[in-house]
Amino acid sequence: MSAQRKALFSDTARIFGLLLIVFLLKPLAGAAAADHAAAAMLEELTAEAGVVFQDAADFRDIEPAANPVLPYERAVRHQSEELEVRYAIRPLGRVQIEYDDPHSAAPEPNHLYPLMFTSITDRLSTGRHSPSQEYSADQAREKFNADWAAAAAFDVDPEFSADYKEGLLVALHKNNKADVYVVYLYNDYARIKTYLEGAMSALVFSD
């Protein structure tokens, strides 16, 4: 778990060649303390982001795996082994923006979520076609207590998961709080459809 926890990491390389977005995390103290530090970091991130988990009984926590596509802080798997859910929590207070255009101001973190959604979808799918759709404002509030939400279906980059071939990304944004990316991984949608319905209500913004 410690391999993915660094002082600095980025979810996007460069957006349109101008914008570098970096999320700040505290480094771990060493391998012996990795699990405790990771749990503490998850607790910090959820508190800062203002999100709560409402886990279903048929899911269990598994150890997040380091990967070059999208670092994430928590993962759960259904008891059938046919559905895995990964959570990447990005409090806006930890966002640092490096902007190279001298003629305009750097974007405000509250306005980055559409670019981040597109960029992360492209990375998870290695740039292949990924149909996507935004939730209506009412749906985003009702389902997630979010100010904005969108979903994209994609074929999974093997560097993100070697066990699952298909994925669904749900991106959530809460003004002045956080962006959250929830990735659902599976091989056969028809087999996991009923599990997915419960899993999609497992994380909401608390206020």
Q: What is the mean pLDDT of each run of 10 residues along the chain (207 residues)?
A: 34 38 51 67 94 92 93 96 97 78 68 91 88 96 97 96 96 96 97 91 92
Q: pLDDT tens digits for 57-106?
A: 899 999 999 999 999 999 999 999 999 999 999 999 887 776 666 656 66
Q: Where are the domains of the chain?
A: 2-99+107-205
What pLDDT is attached to residue 23?
55
What pLDDT is attached to residue 19?
41
Q: Give the span between the Cα atoms of 149 and 133, in whole angstroms.
A: 9
Which spans in 30-135 are helix H? 34-49, 113-124
Q: Which residue has the tokens 């939400």?
A: 149
What pLDDT is attached to residue 105?
61
What pLDDT is attached to residue 12?
36
Helix (H) or strand (E) segment spanning residue 81: none
